[in-house]
Amino acid sequence: MKTLVIVESPAKAKTIKKYLPENCTVEASMGHVIDLPKEQMGIDIENNFKPRYIPLSDKKEILKKLKETAQKSEKVVLATDPDREGEAISWHIANYLGLDINDNDRVEFHEITKNAVAKAFDNKRKIDMNLVNSQQARRILDRLVGYKLSPFLWNKIKKGLSAGRVQSVATRIIVDREEEINNFIPQEYWLIAAILKKSGDNKSFEAKFYGIDNKKKEISSKEEADDVLSRIKGHDFIVDDIKQGTKQRNAPFPFTTSTLQQEANKKLGFTTKKTMMIAQQLYEGIDIKDRGYTGLITYLRTDSVRVSEEAKDECLKYICETYGKEFAMYARKAAAKKTNVQDAHEAIRPTSVVLSPDSISDSLNKDQLKLYDLIYKRFVASNMKPAIYDVLTVNILCNDVTFKATGSVITFEGYLKVYNNKTEEDEDNLLPSLSVNEVLNLVELKNEQKFTTPPPRYNEASLVKILEEKGIGRPSTYATTIGTIQNRGYVALEDKKFFPTELGVLVTNLMKENFTDIIDYDFTAQMENNLDKIAEGDEEWIKVISDFYVSFEKELKKAQNIEKIKIPDIISDVKCDKCGSNMVIKEGRYGKFLACQSFPNCKNIKPLLEEINASCPKCGESLVKKKTKKGKIFYGCSKYPACDFSTWDMPTKEVCKTCGSLKFKKSRTKNAQAYCLKCDSENLNK
């Protein structure tokens, strides 16, 4: 029987093809083929929010081919991705091809392996309309917000702005953090530490001030610090108490979508978009030497840390054979259950531990290998025993002042043998052998004034973490959301930290004042819960949208009465080289630029260049900080194009002893050494 199998991507088609009989033809839809129209809202609000779906203009040839192939086939099987988007794609294709959605034409597999594909085809099912309706509800909600709010922003601020149900809240998170930083008032505190050593021992160790009369105390002023120092002066440091114990560090669970995005950003420097793109490639299949197209990881969109028993057993066998039975963890405490978790898929893991990163490294590109190695080692480690530490805590008295010294050493590596996620606190910190009442020699007494620091700005990893914690959006959409708020000019990424732009602050404040629900964290999280309930069959999608739209429409009508907000121009001291007027600083899609104040009479624009304390090594003129169209920072000569020097490397605070110029270092190289652009000529233009 001739069978047409429809998947989403050509790579997935190649991988699945080798597991199917010869009478099966596999075609790719290339993602969504039918959607709401781009130029219109496409939703009949008065008719229960009925969506108007149309074939996408760039997918008409694909749809034509699918229909022709379906007509020549006796059976059509829908094998799109196993999530809400994939279910919706199957539903649209089924309707287009005239299939009965109640027939068992739908298969889903969470990894593309021979067994998984065979099992899926043995368990075909009908299209799950609960999943389809959940996807429809999300799509319609996002379209309503976008098409209703964006014109409002055009009218009240300026043309070209946009708002979104999730993107507006993500922007608010960054704006709120900036406000926290600006309002932060540093608090003074003092750190006192004694550098001590045992008599006859050359190696010293640090003991930190704990308190007075064995009561913990924070030192918040110079007077308090001086009081502690006066109590110490002239007195011996004597070992008062020694406590020995052990601690263990448990292996992390295998990756979810969110934790993979966070870890890939922290360890590999990958953006969320890059991580998802490469993970998709690993899932769909890579051409492996002597194996052909092979799916290397399980499905990449998941909130679960659950793993199949078969995969766990295979991993434990591998651990025993490779590292020894003492490393294998046959049972571990289950992860704490979180709200909003979609447990349909397993955690992200390798499809087989036999396919080690080293064994297939020749078939993967550099970035694919890095991400696969991270996923592979995390999964193996998750089935290994905890790392064990011996911990020694020593109380040291000097008069009535208590100091504490803590030392630890790893006695059993456990999962750290495979996956290193140690912090500074976990590093070996040996103390000498000490005994109670032993007198120690004082080498140095440290007394430092410190000030509390504001909360840090978000980077991609921490932004993903807070989005997940607050239940904003879904991990599978984080990459799109983060990209959108950057492309709209609401936030900027500098030195891997997110800053809100003036426009982002303005739009967010306007939204806070007029659209309290849309911009509210709890409301947005509750909406995600409602979408989950639709997927589970516990809520009607039309009711969820209707309840939202009633309050949204009221806020929108009320907000129409506010006055238009004028964005004040910042006048620079740069003169227009065409008419002599001062130029003003504007903000566009790719950041700030200079425009003539006499616009529209003079339409001259030029880049806003930030000079840095460094000279061009080619011509001696100053270097300036620039951005590519994608927002990546680089440094080039201010006299470009007359001088074409440029570098990706970032400036440091070090100065060259030979010529006095600022030193640079490779921004993407860990522990890179600073070098002089002028003197270290071998580094230029690398």
Mean pLDDT check: name the lowest of 123-127, 390-394, 664-668: 664-668
Q: What is the mean pLDDT of residues 345-369?
A: 95
Kindly report whether the peptide bond that precedes residue 151 is cis, defined as omega within 30 degrees of 0.
Answer: no
Q: State whether the Cα torsion 257-262-268-272 is positive or negative.
A: positive
Residue 246 has a pLDDT of: 95
Q: Taking 70 as the threshold, does the pLDDT of residue 164 lie above it?
A: yes
Instruction: Give the integer Cα–Cα distance in Å for 613 and 624.
Output: 9
Amino acid at 343: D
Q: Taking 90 as the threshold, does the pLDDT of residue 10 lie above it?
A: yes
Of residues 274 and 429, more confidence is placed in: 274
618-630 per-position pLDDT tens digit: 777 888 887 776 6
Q: What is the mean pLDDT of residues 150-168?
A: 90
Q: Taking 80 as the threshold, does the pLDDT of residue 611 lie above it?
A: no
Q: What is the mean pLDDT of residues 335-339?
A: 58
CB 308 within 8 A of CB 116: no
236-257 per-position pLDDT tens digit: 999 999 999 999 999 999 999 9
- Residue that is written with structure tokens 């600073």 in the block: 674
Cα maximum dimension of the chain? 97
19, 283, 293, 299: which is the annotated catalytic residue?
299
Q: H helices then E strands: how many in the chain?
A: 17, 29
CB 429 within 8 A of CB 406: yes
CA 46 to chain centroid: 39
Residue 669 has a pLDDT of: 61
421-447 per-position pLDDT tens digit: 766 666 667 899 999 999 999 999 999
Average pLDDT, the chain: 90
Confidence (pTM): 0.85
CA 231 to chain centroid: 49
Residue 338 has a pLDDT of: 58
323-332 per-position pLDDT tens digit: 999 999 988 7
Amino acid at 43: I
Residue 335 has a pLDDT of: 64
Of 159, 360, 165, 382, the closest CA to residue 256 belongs to: 382
Of residues 345 and 257, more confidence is placed in: 257
In the chain, pLDDT over 70 holds for what percent of residues? 94
Confidence band (pLDDT; 50, 70, 90) for 684? very low
- Residue that is written with structure tokens 């400036």 in the block: 651
Residue 644 has a pLDDT of: 85
| Strands annotated E in 469-627 | 491-494, 497-500, 570-575, 582-588, 591-596, 605-607, 610-615, 622-627
Q: Taking 50 as the threshold, does the pLDDT of residue 685 lie above it?
A: no
- Phi, psi values for residue 284, rounded to 5°: -70, -30
Residue 500 has a pLDDT of: 94
Mean pLDDT check: name the lowest of 177-186, 434-443, 503-512, 671-680: 671-680
> Is residue 640 flagged as an active site residue?
no
Q: What angle do CA 547, 551, 555 make, to 5 degrees?
A: 160
Domains of the chain (ranges, CATH numbers): 3-127 (3.40.50.140), 149-183+458-559 (1.10.460.10), 188-250+387-451 (2.70.20.10), 265-382 (1.10.290.10), 568-608 (no CATH), 615-686 (no CATH)
Interhelix angle for 272-284 vs 366-382, to 10°?
Answer: 80
Q: What is the mean pLDDT of residues 388-412?
A: 95
Residue 630 has a pLDDT of: 61
Query: Averaging pLDDT over each range in 281-290, 342-351, 428-437, which range is the top one?
Result: 281-290
Q: Taking 60 as the threshold, does the pLDDT of residue 681 lie above it?
A: no
632-644 per-position pLDDT tens digit: 778 888 888 788 8
Q: Taking 80 as the threshold, does the pLDDT of residue 653 lie above it?
A: no
295-305 per-position pLDDT tens digit: 999 999 999 99
55-75 per-position pLDDT tens digit: 999 999 999 999 999 999 999
Q: Taking 50 as the threshold, does the pLDDT of residue 683 lie above it?
A: no
Residue 257 has a pLDDT of: 96
Q: Taking 70 as the threshold, does the pLDDT of residue 514 lie above it?
A: yes
Residue 341 has a pLDDT of: 52
Residue 682 has a pLDDT of: 47
Q: What is the mean pLDDT of residues 389-401?
A: 96
Q: What is the mean pLDDT of residues 100-107?
A: 95
